[in-house]
Amino acid sequence: MSDVRTTLARKVEAARDHLISTTQRLVAVASPNPPSDTAEIAAVTEALLREIPEIEIETIEPAPRVRSLIARLRSGRPGRRLIFNGHLDTFPLLEGLPWTVPPLGGVLKDGKLYGRGVCDMKGGIACSVLAAMLLADHRDAWSGEIVLTLAGDEENMGSLGTGYMMEHVPHAQGDGNICGDVGSPKVVRFGEKGLMWVEVEATGTPAHGAHVHRGINAVDRLRVALDKLKDLEEVPFQAPPIVTEAIAKAKHISEPLSGAGESETLQRVTVNIGTIEGGTSPNLVPTHAIARADIRLPVGITTDVLAAKLDEWLAPLEGVSWRAIRRFEPSFTPPDHELVRRTAGVAAEVLGSPPAVNMRVGGSDSRWYRKYGVPTVVLGLTPFNMGGADEYILVDELLAVAKIHTLVAYDFLSAGQ
């Protein structure tokens, strides 16, 4: 390694206590979504960022208390712009869960750091902030600029957070983006499945449950419609070979971390019928029923294709209607892109073994960057009990992710100097 890279790596290791305390300061401030109120966590994060000399900070608030930050660190020389993206909001606290530690306590115990949002993704933000802080001390060794886009509204799909910044702030975009959202430092994620949430509704005619011949059962109509909805899992499509090959190659590392079957799930349409409601009493023929489902799409098929199938299959069913509640397309950065290769190389250097390079099952704000043509990788912490009681991360991983973010950013911005 060059002298600067060696120094940066050593400074990350020396900053272990600082990294832990930064994560604890972020965890200590509740930022649950709903209600997507990130005003207080944005204020704490801004105070952390102002410890970096000559950093420029803007506050973005497209809706009351849905607050995001853009922090800009310039080298003073022309070059590329690297984005560190993260989200400030978390899952709800759900204090009724059987927590054994305070949800906002940031308890450090046995090499684990606990708290709501510590893995999703306040620990990842702490890593990116430390990377920017250390690189600020060596801005003579790289060119261009570092921008941190720290967003609200991610758990609500990001239209008032990262999506808003991408549309309205030119320097929220750049030549590459590193996101520290949950995953594993052992897996470099270069893309993610798309999403379509749908609502299927059925109506009927009332009657007494003993006189079913006089009524039309809305639940029966809905059952037929939901069978059609599940048929979306069989719609044929063709994924790009570069993606299918990467998923296959990553399987032996990625599946032990993310669960057996991940590789197959990444390559097919999945339909999860999450809620069903209908009727008021067992002895009445229901006149209304509604279901909501989460559909995930692999690379190679679009929401338009699935919407057209639903129109075709459900339109002939009397008393049945459907609508899309949310939708976004699958997206990926080519796994052989420079940013992906550099991230994989640094992760191998830091961890001592090559990481997997794979797609991501869940969604993230990285899709907004890919939508605007910005190459993106996601590399963050392993989530333990995410969204449940005693959410935690491993401190050793926190240090590893911080080192990877720091060195990838240095390599990306010093290339060609």
Question: Per-residue pLDDT for 311 more than 60?
Answer: yes
- pLDDT value of position 153: 87
Distance of CA 147 to the CA centre of its chain: 19
Q: What is the mean pLDDT of the chain?
A: 96
Task: Reduce the secondary structure of 60-100 to three states and give it as a string.
Answer: EEEECCEEEEEEEEECCCCCCEEEEEEECCECCCCCCCCCC
- Residue 275 pLDDT class (50, 70, 90 cuts): very high
The pLDDT value given to residue 95: 81
Which CATH number does the domain 3-192+331-414 belong to among 3.40.630.10, 3.20.20.60, 3.30.300.90, 3.10.50.40? 3.40.630.10
Residue carrying the six token digits 């050793």: 396
What tokens does 227 get? 């069978």
Token pair belonging to 323:
């609508």
**Rounded Cα distance, 360 and 367, in Å:** 11
H-state helical runs in 54-211: 123-136, 162-168
Note the pLDDT tens digit of each residue in 180-206: 999 999 999 999 999 999 999 999 999
Of residues 217, 110, 159, the one with CA closest to residue 363: 159
Q: What is the mean pLDDT of residues 257-281?
A: 97
Contact between residue 345 and residue 1 where contact means Cβ atoms under 8 Å apart: no
What is the residue extent of each domain of the chain? Answer: 3-192+331-414, 194-249+259-328
pLDDT of residue 157: 79
> Is the confidence at residue 108, as pLDDT, over 80?
yes
Mind listing the pLDDT tens digit for each residue in 75-93? Answer: 999 999 999 999 999 999 9
pTM of the full structure: 0.94
State the sign of the Cα–Cα–Cα–Cα dihedral 146, 409, 31, 360.
Answer: positive
User: Residue 256: pLDDT above 90?
Assistant: yes
pLDDT digit string, tens, across residues 364-410: 999 999 999 999 999 999 999 999 999 999 999 999 999 999 999 99
pLDDT score of 1 more than 60:
no
Alpha-carbon 351 to chain mean position: 23
Q: 194-249+259-328: same fold as 3-192+331-414?
A: no
pLDDT of amino acid 417: 60
Q: What is the pLDDT of residue 2?
A: 76
Count Cβ atoms below 10 Å from residue 136 Cβ, excluding itself: 17
In the chain, the percentage of residues whose pLDDT exceeds 70 is 99
pLDDT band at 155 (very low <50, low <70, confident <90, very high): confident
Q: Please name which of 116, 141, 134, 126 lies closest in space to residue 21, comparing C-alpha atoms.
A: 126
Please classify residue 272 by burial: count the beta carbons closer than 10 Å to its beta carbon, then call 0-12 exposed, 13-18 middle and 19+ buried. exposed
DSSP state of 205: B
At 416 the pLDDT is 60
Inter-CA distances, 52 with 17, 57, 107, 172, Å: 17, 11, 26, 19
The domain 194-249+259-328 is placed in CATH, from the list 3.30.70.360, 3.40.50.2000, 3.40.50.720, 1.10.12.10, at 3.30.70.360
- d(C-alpha 53, C-alpha 215), whole Å: 73
The radius of gyration computed from the CA coordinates of the chain, to the nearest angstrom, equals 23
Q: What is the pLDDT of residues 210-220, one digit of tens each?
A: 999 999 999 99
Residues belonging to the chain:
417
Is the pLDDT at 346 greater than 80? The verdict is yes
Average pLDDT of the segment spanning 256-279? 96
72-81, 146-155, 174-183: the lowest-pLDDT one: 146-155
Q: What is the mean pLDDT of residues 90-115?
A: 95
